Structure 1
Amino acid sequence: MMITGILLALLAGALVSLQTIFNSKVNERTGSWSTTTMVLFTGFLASFLISILVEGKNTFSLQHMQPWYWLSGAIGVGVVFCLVQGMKLLGPTYAISIVLTSQLSFALLFDAMGWFGLEQIPFSWNQLIGVLVIVGGIILFKFGGSMKSSRTSAPSNQSH
């Protein structure tokens, strides 16, 4: 079970990266809101058809759901729009790195607080250190090359 979960999480990461690239390419030809509309509409069609095929009538069984869970689609609008804009301004690798770090940080907060119906998972400093190591990696990734090139391009003062 754990291996399956890891493989699915890895696949999700690959799909998010792929979708982000495709969204960025669509956004080059249209506006951000058009891109967001197209992405979410095609996602709706695909998920609706798959749900009908896999779950049949249970697709429409929506009892015992907290009302605020219905906001998930509206949240998706924010996700797609912000990701498309972030990609345009930062480039794919840097934007995705920040998105995933933010996602991990908020998941840590939501777990630790037990918000939104999650089982509360005690916070540990190791978790925070892990997130900070990732942030450090992003900073190194983004600025490490420019620090190196600025050091090598600086004139050397070798007068003896």
Structure 2
Amino acid sequence: MLTGLVLALIAGALVSLQNIFNAKVNEHTGSWSTTTLVLGMGFAASLVMGLIMEGKNMFTLQHMQPWYWLSGMIGVGVVICLVQATRILGATYAISIVLTAQLGFALLWDSLGWLGLAKVPFSFNQLIGVLIIVGGILVFKLGGKSDAKEPAGTPGSGKPQGALHTD
């Protein structure tokens, strides 16, 4: 269990880091170029590591449902949506919404036993947990606003450093 927790923490950190990198790449290219670059480099890295770790067994795909192959196309949607959400909302807000959506849909799919998952009984405690996270996002986004004006060049002021403060 500890290994699973550590791996999940690492995955969360990597997704957050990748999202920031993707947003920075998107500042210099378009969304489709960013997606192609991200998924292309991911393919190359996965292919090399898979061949090193598994060899020819990597290509043994027995008893797999054909619709599982759609996962790669879903990845395109993930990258496009995350890049745009980060550009519009900022990294922390976008990622917190994405993680909450992941948790909510995982709860739904587990509870219904969809997509070949073992059915997990739904409880209102699980729903309350998701709603508490949503409340936390709202507090994060709406709770930090103040009417105080920030001087030029401070983070979040929207004014470049060195700009004259004329307010």
Q: So what's the TM-score if we normalise by structure 1?
A: 0.91
Tell me how far apart the structure 1 counterparts of residues 46 and 143 of structure 2 sit (CA, whole Å).
41
Deviation at 1:91, TM superposition (A): 0.4
Identity %: 70
CA RMSD of aligned residues (A): 1.1
Structure 1 consecutive aligned stretches of length 4 or more whose deviation exceeds 4 Å: none
* CA deviation after TM superposition for structure 1 residue 63, in Å: 1.3
- Which structure has greater helix proportion? 1
Matches of residues 5-154 of structure 1 in structure 2 within 5 Å?
5-146=4-145, 149-150=146-147
Deviations 1:81-119 (A, max 9, x none): 000000011000000000000000000000000001000
Instruction: Tell me which residue corresponds to 2:165.
Output: none
**1:101-141 deviations in whole A, cap 9, x for unaligned?**
00000000000000010000000000000000000000000
State how far apart, in whole Å, the 2-side matches of 1:46 and 1:76 are.
Answer: 16
Question: Helix, strand or coil for the counterpart of 2:144?
Answer: helix
Amino acid corresponding to residue 124 of structure 2 in structure 1:
W
Aligned residues: 149
Could you say which residue in structure 2 is the equivalent of 1:156? Answer: none
Q: Distance in 2 between matches of 1:115 and 1:58?
A: 29
Name the CA distance, whole Å, in 1 between partners of 2:74 and 2:122: 26
